[in-house]
Amino acid sequence: MTAEGRIEWCRSLLARSARLTGRTLRGEWHAIVVEPVQRLARRGVSGLLLAFVAACGVIFFHAIAQHPLGALWVTRLGGVRADLPLWLSLLRTPVSLYVPALDLPVWAGITQLFLAFAWAELALGRARTLAISYATTVAGTLTARVMIAMGPGWWGFGLPPECAHVLDTGPSAAVVGLFTYLAVIKRAPVVFTLTGGSMVWESVAVPNLAGREHLIAVGSAIVLGLLHGRRAWLRARLRSLLPVRYAGHATAEPPVVPPPVPPRPAPAPATGDRAQDTAMTSLEC
């Protein structure tokens, strides 16, 4: 290839890359800004109910935790640790979403929380927003228990036993999960890179319990996002793996048809009837 041909090829490659980047950014801008604003204009302030409830809940628990007695009750209601029984941790998990983390700035976290729940509520609805936020939080909490049970080592996956006493609260896992889930279903690579990349950097820079849970939240949100809109396919796949008798719509067994009954031979006439018939025949003759 000549020098002019290489230059022309580089120009065409740059032009295609620029067009692809422009289409991607335009589509992402429409998905993360234009569509939510349009839905907010149609629904009004009621479309931000979850965002206001989440933000006000964090502010409320943060204000209560400033007093010793309030901090005790906040810990009893929403304090989650790996050394607690599993049923108690799961019972406190919904409240722990509104308890701010101790090592993170509250107002910066509230801003991220409000944006995540506002975008999710406008794009997904309230029920799915709550389901995704709770699922990603529970996934991080349960996986942290498994890592602590594994102990140090295991190629860096295990955690020391001291992490079981660390207070695990805050809506950060739910926020990360919502942003990642929306980035996957809305085909938003910039938001996905910023969210996932920041969590990976946090886990590498500060290898603590929160960083591991954030990575688990990102991974679970990716899986849920890839399964979005494939409910019929997933249901059919599960039915194909189950036995026929236990499937949702079991096939009816064909009715059992009895074998045909052979015809019975006609009974032979009695002897008296034969004699009478013979006499009548002789008279007729």
C-alpha–C-alpha distance, residues 133 and 103, integer Å: 21
In the chain, where does DSSP find H-type helix?
A: 3-29, 35-43, 49-64, 68-78, 86-96, 106-124, 126-150, 172-185, 189-205, 209-226, 231-241, 271-284
Indicate the angle between helix axes 189-205 and 172-185, nearest 10 degrees: 150
Q: Could you report the average pLDDT of every consecutive run of 10 residues in the chain (285 residues)?
A: 71 78 80 85 87 90 86 86 87 86 70 89 90 91 86 74 81 89 88 82 75 87 83 66 52 55 57 48 43
The DSSP secondary structure of 171-217, one letter per residue, reads: SHHHHHHHHHHHHHHTT-HHHHHHHHHHHHHHHHHS-SHHHHHHHHH
Neighbouring CB atoms inside 10 A of 135's CB total 18
The model's pTM:
0.74
| pLDDT at residue number 178 | 92
* CATH class of segment(s) 3-228: mainly alpha
Neighbouring CB atoms inside 10 A of 182's CB total 25
User: Residue 81: CB partners within 8 Å, gap ≥ 6?
Assistant: 89, 164, 165, 166, 167, 168
C-alpha–C-alpha distance, residues 141 and 250, integer Å: 38
| pLDDT at residue number 282 | 45
| pLDDT at residue number 285 | 43
Q: By the 8 A CB rule, do 53 and 139 touch?
A: no
